[in-house]
Amino acid sequence: APIALDEGAWLLPGWAAAEAGRWIEGVRQVVAQAPWRVMHTPGGKSMSVGITNCGPWGWVSDASGYAYTATDPLSGQPWPALPEWFWTQARAAAAAAGYPGFAPDACLINRYAPGAKMSLHRDQDETDRRAPIVSVSLGLPATFLWGGLARTDRARRMQLAHGDVLVWGGATRLAYHGIHPLKDGVHSLLGSERWNLTFRMARAQY
Ligand code: MD3
Ligand code: FE
C-alpha cells in the first residue's frame, strides 16, 4: 500500500522488487545503445553519477545548461526506445499513487557507485509540472534527502531500498531533493551499484 511522504508524494515500498530482473534487463538494453556517461553541470563540475536515457526525450546537462533532447549527443541518434515494460509499470505505479493517465515520454537513468551523490536540486525542466515523476530504485540502498519548496527548508532523510518506487506529484512536485553519497556495499543483483530510473512527462500534456 502506498505511504504518504508529503503532499502529493507517495512511496510504494518494494513495488518493483519482484520483477527486478525485467527492470535490470531493460536498463542493460538501453545501456547497450546509449552507454552510461558523465555529464557536467552548467557550472562546469562533473556529476558523480553515470547517466543515460530512453524514450522520446532524454535529459542532458552541459556547459550551456539543462535540456531535454530527442537525440543522444554521443551518437546523434534518437535515444533508445522506452521498453514497453517500463512504460506500463511506470503508468501503473502512478495510478496506484492516485495519478491515472501518466504517460511518460522521458526516462532518465542514474547509476551510483560508492561515493556518488546527487546534490539538492529541483526537477523543473519538464514543461507540464502537473505530471508527477515516478522513480524506481534498484540495487544498493541510498539515503534520500528531501526538503520543501525553498532551498533553505529543513531536509528530511529516508532510506530508499531495492525495488522502492516513489511517485512525486501534486503540491510538492517542485520540492528540493537529493541523494547522500552512496555507502559501499554489495547487492545480489547489482553488485556495488545503485540504479535509479525517473519517468517524466517532459513535453507531453498531463
Ligand atoms: C522529489 N534522482 O534524477 S529519485 C533525478 O535517486 C533525481 O537518482 C534521484 O533526483 C536518484 O532528478 C532521486 C526520487 C525523486 C525524483 C524526482 C523528484 C524525488 C523527487 C521530483 C520532485 C521531488
Ligand atoms: Fe531530481
To test ligand 1's pocket by mutation, which of 107, 136, 198, 200 has the most ligand atoms within 8 angstroms of CB? 198
Is the residue at 205 inside a domain?
A: no
Instruction: List, for residues 58-95, the tens digit of each pLDDT value.
Output: 999 999 999 999 999 999 999 999 999 999 999 999 99
Is the residue at 142 inside a domain?
A: yes
Ligand found nearest the CA of 165: 1
Mean of pLDDT values over 140-150 = 97
Is the residue at 206 inside a domain?
A: no
Can you read off the three cell numbers belonging to residue 131?
505530471
- For the chain, the domain total comes to 1
Residues in the chain: 206
Alpha carbon separation from 131 to 103, 127, 128, 147 (Å, rounded): 9, 9, 6, 20
User: How far away, in angstroms, is 177 Cα from ligand 1 center?
Assistant: 6
Say which DSSP state 184 is in: P
CATH number at residue 159: 2.60.120.590
Instruction: List, for residues 154-195, the tens digit of each pLDDT value.
Output: 999 999 999 999 999 999 999 999 999 999 999 999 999 999
CB-neighbour burial class of residue 6 (10 A; exposed 0-12, middle 13-18, buried 19+):
middle
Is the residue at 46 inside a domain?
A: no
Is the residue at 47 inside a domain?
A: no
> Is the complex ipTM more than 0.95?
yes
Residue type, position 35, single letter: P
pLDDT at 37: 98
User: How far away, in angstroms, is 32 Cα from ligand 2 center?
Assistant: 24
Instruction: List, for residues 1-26, the tens digit of each pLDDT value.
Output: 899 999 999 999 999 999 999 999 99
Is the residue at 57 inside a domain?
A: yes
Ligand 1 first shell, C-beta below 6 A: 108, 110, 118, 123, 133, 135, 146, 166, 168, 173, 175, 177, 179, 196, 198
Residues with CB under 5 A from ligand 2 (ion): 123
Can you read off the three cell numbers belonging to residue 22?
525485467
Is the residue at 185 inside a domain?
A: yes
Range of the domain at 104: 3-40+52-200
Is the residue at 183 inside a domain?
A: yes
